Amino acid sequence: MKKILAILLAGMMTATVFAGCGGGGNTESGGSGSDTQSSSDDGGAEVKDANLVDVSVFGDEDNISLKVWAPDKAVSLVKEQIEAFKAAYPEKTFTKIEVVAQGEGDAGTQLMNDASTAADVFSFASDQLNKLVDAKVIAPVAFAKAVTDMNSEACVTAGTLQDTLYAYPETNDNGYYLVYDKTVVSDEQAGKLEDVLAACKEAGKKFIFNCGNGFYGCTFAFTAGVKIDGLEEDGVTQKFTDYDEAEAVKTLQAFSKLMHEYKGTFTSLDNAQVASGFSTGTLGAGVDGSWNTNADQDALKDNFGAAKLPTINVDGTDKQLISLFGYKYIGVNAASQFPAAAQVLAYYLAGETCQQQRAEKLGWGPSNKNVQGMDVVTKSAVQQAIKQQSENACVQVNIAPTFWDPMGNLGNKLVADDTDPDDAAYFSKLLKDTVANVRDEG
């Protein structure tokens, strides 16, 4: 059986297709986007369209039982998508396809803890790919040509290691942006952090930035010029570009000064507090992730505003805030007992229709090029804000595990009550310690 499946998957790996990659225009239907078929050279698997492969890909797998990990906010939708998936293959018997809530940020760690009991198909963030490949717990994408043709080049590139595509692109928007109440902050004021804070203070509202979370706190270092610049020989340790220490220190001081000047307005809280703050009327603006779009929109309704991150003034110069930006993927467990079915399901969940549904129902940004051209994306203030911010961001790929805590600590130190924003020597040491800790030089 294992030999037969290995041969089947090898054939799947060589499958070539000519999937439709043209713009989706203003289409709002759940069409496949392509009906072109092409088989692999060795007569193996056929990719039928942007959502489905030929039933022959399943080989002799039947009475199929699979587990799927999905983020909490997507569980209901994924269950609906799986019912559609099963209906698309009436020739096959699916004993059970179980959907379990599992955050993308911890999926890689959970998979490596025990791949034999983990999900067959799972969602994960781009920074986990390197360790999944090193641990040999993620299977290469079986339909690499089709997936490459249908999705954005940057997302595919970030999912590729050693010339092998290991991840099915799921989203193209794993980043954060400025969200604001338009009755408090105007679109013009949204461009500058100083103006945002002033508007919030005047209205007696809070501003939330999750300083102590390294995913957000790294913004302070990046804006200061201390940016991720690829990988070192060990494959994960982050390098940093050459930076002007004096300029970096002044930038950190500028952030800290604003935080202290607007104490009581500027608050470092978990992002879960953003939507609830808008709902209770206590929040004027905040920095939030694309995955919370629906909750924020539901809270603000017609007063919902979205923009790229603002600038901060450093010695008379407005500097754009630089964020961390990445992608989310769907992976296949290399230890799956139904490897062919798991690949087929991953292809479906990463396909055009499912990406369009996530864009429409969850507000997630698609990596599929056809869906990127649809109204649900092009007319979305959030997606346009994230697109603009992605041009002012460091890519979240293969982040060292030592990266997160030092960056969160940096944010906490900037906002701490006992920090003196005028103490340049303090910030110089804080900067050096942060870099050393990320590089694990302690």
Please say whether the beta carbons of 296 and 305 come within 8 A: no
Q: What are the start and end residues of each CATH 3.40.190.10 domain in the chain?
A: 2-18+25-174+326-389, 176-325+396-438
Whole-angstrom distance, CA of residue 144 vs CA of residue 156: 9
The pLDDT of 380-390, averaged and rounded, is: 92
Q: Which residues of 27-50 are buried (b: 16+ CB within 10 A; e: fewer)?
A: beeebbbbeeeebbeeebbbbbbb
Range with the lowest mean pLDDT among 96-100, 110-114, 121-125, 426-430? 110-114
- The pTM assigned to this predicted structure is 0.81
Q: What is the pLDDT of residue 86?
A: 98
The pLDDT of 264-283, averaged and rounded, is: 97
Q: What is the pLDDT of residue 237?
A: 60
- CA dihedral angle for residue 21, residue 27, residue 28, residue 30, rounded to 10 degrees: -40
In words, the CATH class of domain 2-18+25-174+326-389 is alpha beta
Among residues 414, 434, 441, 412, which one has the least CA distance to residue 243?
434
Q: What is the pLDDT of residue 32?
A: 31
Please say whether the beta carbons of 68 and 78 come within 8 A: yes
Whole-angstrom distance, CA of residue 274 vs CA of residue 260: 20
- CA dihedral angle for residue 98, residue 104, residue 108, residue 109, rounded to 10 degrees: -100
Q: What is the pLDDT of residue 28?
A: 31
- CA dihedral angle for residue 72, residue 74, residue 79, residue 85, rounded to 10 degrees: -140
Whole-angstrom distance, CA of residue 25 vs CA of residue 378: 9
Whole-angstrom distance, CA of residue 248 vs CA of residue 225: 6
Q: What is the pLDDT of residue 117?
A: 87
Phi, psi of 181 (to 5 degrees): -85, 115
Q: What is the pLDDT of residue 240?
A: 80
User: Which CATH number is correct for 176-325+396-438, 3.40.190.10, 3.30.450.30, 3.30.70.20, 3.30.70.100?
Assistant: 3.40.190.10
Q: Which residues of 271-308 are buried (b: 16+ CB within 10 A; e: fewer)?
A: bebbbebbeeeebbbbbbbbbbbebbbebbeeebbbbb
The pLDDT of 316-322, averaged and rounded, is: 97
Q: What is the pLDDT of residue 399?
A: 80
Q: Could you tell me which residues are beta bridge partners of residue 174?
A: 326
Span 386-440, pLDDT tens digits: 999 999 998 887 787 889 999 999 999 999 999 999 999 999 999 999 999 998 8
Please say whether the beta carbons of 226 and 421 come within 8 A: no
Percent of the chain with pLDDT over 70: 88
Span 1-44, pLDDT tens digits: 333 344 344 444 333 332 322 222 232 333 333 333 333 333 33
The pLDDT of 70-86, averaged and rounded, is: 96
Percent of the chain with pLDDT over 90: 72
Q: What is the pLDDT of residue 127?
A: 85
Grade residue 108 by pLDDT with cuts at 50, 70 and 90: confident
Among residues 76, 115, 138, 86, which one has the least CA distance to residue 294?
76
Whole-angstrom distance, CA of residue 310 vs CA of residue 190: 6
The pLDDT of 328-353, averaged and rounded, is: 97
Please say whether the beta carbons of 330 and 139 come within 8 A: no
The pLDDT of 108-116, averaged and rounded, is: 86
Of 25-34, 55-64, 226-235, 386-395, which has the strongest mean pLDDT? 55-64
Span 239-255, pLDDT tens digits: 787 899 999 999 999 99
What is the pairing mode between strands 64-70 and 176-181? unpaired
DSSP state of 305: E
Phi, psi of 168 (to 5 degrees): -85, 120
Please say whether the beta carbons of 102 and 119 come within 8 A: yes
Q: Could you give the C-alpha distances from 151 to 156, 157, 169, in angstroms and in order? A: 7, 10, 7
Among residues 58, 78, 121, 144, which one has the least CA distance to residue 332?
121
Span 296-308, pLDDT tens digits: 999 999 999 999 9
One-letter amino acid for residue 180 of the chain: Y
Residue 55 or 40, more confident: 55
Among residues 323, 318, 325, which one has the least CA distance to residue 223?
323
Q: Burial, 92: exposed, middle or buried (Cβ in 10 Å; 0-12, 13-18, 19+)?
A: middle
**Average pLDDT, whole number, for the chain?**
87
Span 356-375, pLDDT tens digits: 999 999 989 999 999 999 99
Q: What is the pLDDT of residue 442?
A: 59
Among residues 16, 233, 299, 314, which one has the least CA distance to residue 145?
16
Span 122-180, pLDDT tens digits: 999 888 888 899 899 999 999 999 999 999 999 999 899 889 999 999 999 889 999 99
